[in-house]
């Protein structure tokens, strides 16, 4: 395939809360929870942010960096599990907000945390078929954990946008494949505010099985082993799972380093693997190979074998914020402010 990533941008909201702070409210040792999850702090969206605003911000950055005329975008897909509307696609508002309307196709994707990677695959297909010039794939979420549940310590907000095309490709996507089954590890029924999950069932039969099976199939397809990759990015619901699967598969900590973002901003769900990939691209050099293996509950894994090109050298990242800055910075807030921001406090009469 000669199609790939032409440009990218990421956005993580400004506020942070620590596991320690969350634990105080529930009488739990938050520090221990955080250590167990491998999460130091997580991002919190402001009351005026949502998946639509986060996606728009990330895409605006990508379009400016890539000097892309939004009118040349032929398709836009936003993957999330926290679309502001159940019916009315996030992609339509984002498309209007970046000036891409009306000559494009658009839709929203849902596949838990791998909706964004699924969107990339779709764009690859449309670009490869010559149907569109540029496709936009965004993974973005403002996910919530039920108050007091383990997920509350990690569920966070953020997103990344990728422009897929064939011209001025900075990272070519050589192969992509997926591994999909019906596995009820984590779900949310229509109308429910918070998701439910199967506890320890979310580990071996879900995340680990799908990620490893998908990775193995990719090694076979691409004829590679872990040492052929400079970097690897996994979906990362916490800081521990990706490191464990990485070591199981034979990757080193150095290879996993840039792609691991959850410890610093929490699990951004559909944004996680994509923000990880964005951080890798922020640090990569031309001619380096990257393996990306996303995962979405329900369940499935999408893998990408990516190689950076010489065009990466001329890629201008001066607009927008480097992912590392999002990881290193942020304003800590107390639980009360967090609850207010996340709408856990209900105003009457509404």
Binding other proteins (rule: CB under 8 A), the pick from 31, 99, 199, 227 is 99
Residue 305 sits in the site that holds other proteins (CB under 8 A): no
Out of 83, 197, 210, 235, pick the active-site residue. Answer: 235
Can you read off the two tokens belonging to residue 158? Answer: 């953020």
Binding other proteins (rule: CB under 8 A), the pick from 6, 52, 232, 323 is 52
Whether 118 and 179 have beta carbons less than 8 Å apart is answered as no
Q: How far apart are the first and last CA of the chain?
A: 51
72 has catalytic annotation: no
To other proteins, the closest distance from the beta carbon of 292 in angstroms equals 28
Closest C-alpha among 296, 252, 257, 295 to residue 279: 257
Phi, psi of 83 (to 5 degrees): -60, 135
CB count in 10 Å sphere of residue 67: 11
Which residues, in sequence order, are CB contacts of 254 under 8 Å at separation 6+?
A: none
Out of 21, 113, 123, 210, pick the active-site residue. Answer: 113
Which residues, in sequence order, are CB contacts of 155 under 8 Å at separation 6+?
A: 42, 143, 144, 145, 266, 267, 269
- Binding part of the chain for other proteins, among 174-182, 218-226, 291-299, 339-347 by CB under 8 A, reads 339-347
CB count in 10 Å sphere of residue 199: 10
Binding other proteins (rule: CB under 8 A), the pick from 1, 25, 35, 64 is 64
Whether 56 and 98 have beta carbons less than 8 Å apart is answered as yes
To other proteins, the closest distance from the beta carbon of 220 in angstroms equals 42
**CB of 89 or CB of 300, closer to other proteins:** 89
**CB of 32 or CB of 46, closer to other proteins:** 46
Q: Where are the beta strands (DSSP E) in 166-268?
A: 171-183, 186-187, 196-197, 231-234
175 has catalytic annotation: no
> What is the pattern of x (binds other proteins, CB under 8 A) and - over residues 1-40?
-------------x--------------------------
Out of 21, 81, 152, 288, pick the active-site residue. Answer: 81
Closest C-alpha among 68, 127, 122 to residue 91: 122
Residue 48 sits in the site that holds other proteins (CB under 8 A): yes
Helix axes 272-283, 115-128, angle to 10 degrees: 60
113 has catalytic annotation: yes
- Binding part of the chain for other proteins, among 16-24, 89-97, 223-231, 263-271 by CB under 8 A, reads 89-97
Residue 347 sits in the site that holds other proteins (CB under 8 A): yes
Closest C-alpha among 137, 133, 121 to residue 73: 133
Residue 190 sits in the site that holds other proteins (CB under 8 A): no
Residue 47 sits in the site that holds other proteins (CB under 8 A): yes
Residue 57 sits in the site that holds other proteins (CB under 8 A): yes
Structure-token match 């911000």, residue found:
57
Judged by the rule CB under 8 A, the positions of this chain that interact with other proteins are 14, 46-50, 52-53, 56-57, 60, 63-64, 69-71, 84-85, 93, 96-102, 319, 340, 343, 347, 350
Tell me the catalytic residues. Answer: 81, 113, 235
């Amino acid at each position: 395939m000669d199609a790939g990533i032409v440009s990218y941008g990421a956005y993580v909201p400004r506020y942070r809360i620590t596991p320690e702070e969350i634990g105080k409210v529930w009488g739990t040792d938050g520090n221990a929870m955080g250590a167990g999850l491998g999460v130091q702090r997580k991002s919190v969206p402001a009351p005026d942010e949502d998946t639509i605003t986060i996606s728009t911000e990330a895409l605006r950055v990508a379009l400016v960096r890539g000097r892309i005329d939004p009118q040349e975008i032929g398709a836009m897909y936003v993957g999330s599990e926290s679309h502001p509307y159940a019916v009315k696609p996030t992609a339509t508002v984002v498309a209007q907000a970046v000036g891409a309307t009306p000559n494009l196709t658009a839709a929203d994707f849902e596949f838990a945390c791998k909706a964004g990677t699924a969107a990339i695959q779709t764009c690859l297909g449309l670009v490869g078929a010559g149907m569109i010039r540029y496709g936009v794939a965004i993974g973005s979420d403002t996910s919530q954990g039920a108050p007091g549940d383990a997920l509350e310590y990690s569920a966070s907000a953020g997103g990344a946008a990728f422009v897929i095309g064939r011209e001025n490709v900075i990272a070519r996507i050589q192969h992509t494949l997926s591994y999909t089954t019906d596995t009820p590890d984590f779900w949310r029924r229509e109308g429910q505010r918070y998701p439910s999950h199967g506890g320890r069932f979310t580990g071996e039969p879900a995340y680990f099985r799908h990620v490893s099976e998908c990775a193995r199939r990719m090694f076979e397809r691409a004829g590679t082993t872990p040492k052929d990759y400079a970097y690897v990015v996994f979906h990362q619901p916490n800081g521990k799972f990706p490191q464990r699967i990485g070591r199981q598969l034979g990757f080193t900590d150095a290879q996993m380093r840039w792609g691991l973002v959850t410890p610093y901003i929490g699990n951004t769900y559909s944004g996680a693997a994509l923000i990880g990939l964005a951080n890798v691209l922020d640090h990569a050099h031309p001619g380096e190979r990257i393996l990306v293996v996303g995962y979405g509950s329900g369940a499935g894994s999408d893998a990408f074998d990516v190689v950076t090109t010489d065009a990466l050298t001329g890629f201008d990242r001066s607009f927008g914020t480097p992912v590392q800055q999002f990881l290193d910075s942020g304003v800590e807030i107390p639980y009360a402010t967090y609850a207010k921001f996340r709408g856990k406090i209900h105003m009457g009469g509404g």
